[in-house]
Structure 1
């Protein structure tokens, strides 16, 4: 009964604010207020308030256990230690394999398989006869030079 009263009071208050906004010719704001004002009544009539209460209690219980239960913190510590050991062991093993297999490879075999090959550098622009560098524009550079000579 209290839930119904609160939800319909919230709806009535929101509708009142929407009416005030509409009276001030703020129709977009009034529409938003009216839409939000209908939510509490809709939630009550569909029966979603008890569901929200159940979800809220379950979340609060979980959070309380997470913070105050030493078993949970022990589990978090075990997960952290296992992840750290797993990462440290695999890195150590990978480095050890790389050091042991390095002398076995021939020196002229090319780049190491775990390292990407270096991409070749892009070609440098060629120098033009006038001492200017070719910037890849071709005919546009010639047109620009002609326009500059004529003062355009």
Structure 2
């Protein structure tokens, strides 16, 4: 019975604070207070207070056992070693991936993949077939004529205007 009185008293106090907040036109804060105020009554009516008491008692017994029982300390050490091994393997895996990306591949550059599935692959802008930048520089056609940028010449006039303006 005392639990019910405390739960409903907390709910009433929270509702009073929510009402004051709403009176001051702080509606977001009032809504938060209202939501928190409903928790004690909801926990009591669903019967979760006795469950919380049981969980707290079990955790207290476990904590007392941790201090005195060497078997529990062995379990804690095993959990720490397991977590350390998992974190270390993850760190080494990420490190090896980053090192392999920074080193050039022995077999040559990877083939260019299309940005959208179903479109033909093309080399990056400003790169020739070998992956090296063109002699004329990026955005300029190679000495042999027009470059194949995959646009089919649709934007040739726009490219010319931008080139004249230095963009």
- When the two structures are superposed, what TM-score results if normalisation uses the length of structure 1? 0.57
CA distance in 2, matches of 1:53, 1:16: 27
Aligned to 1:148: 163
Q: What is the total number of aligned residue pairs between the two structures? A: 115
CA distance in 2, matches of 1:10, 1:150: 71
What is the Cα deviation at residue 22 of structure 1?
0.8
What is the Cα deviation at residue 142 of structure 1?
8.0
How big is each residue's C-alpha offset from its partner over 1:84-118, in whole Å with a ceiling of 9 and x where there is no partner?
xxxxxxxxxxxxxxxxxxxxxxxxxxxxxxxxx95
Indicate whether 1:56 and 2:68 are aligned. no
What is the RMSD of the two structures over their aligned residues, measured on CA atoms?
Answer: 3.5
The higher relative CO (CA closer than 8 Å, separation ≥ 6) is in 1
CA distance in 2, matches of 1:4, 1:27: 29
Larger radius of gyration: 1
What is the Cα deviation at residue 151 of structure 1?
7.0
CA distance in 2, matches of 1:31, 1:75: 45
CA distance in 2, matches of 1:57, 1:41: 22
CA distance in 2, matches of 1:15, 1:40: 11
- When the two structures are superposed, what TM-score results if normalisation uses the length of structure 2? 0.53
Aligned to 2:69: 69
What is the Cα deviation at residue 57 of structure 1?
0.9
Alpha carbons 1:125, 1:134 under 8 Å: kept: no
What is the Cα deviation at residue 21 of structure 1?
0.7
Aligned to 1:7: 7
SS of 1:127's partner is coil
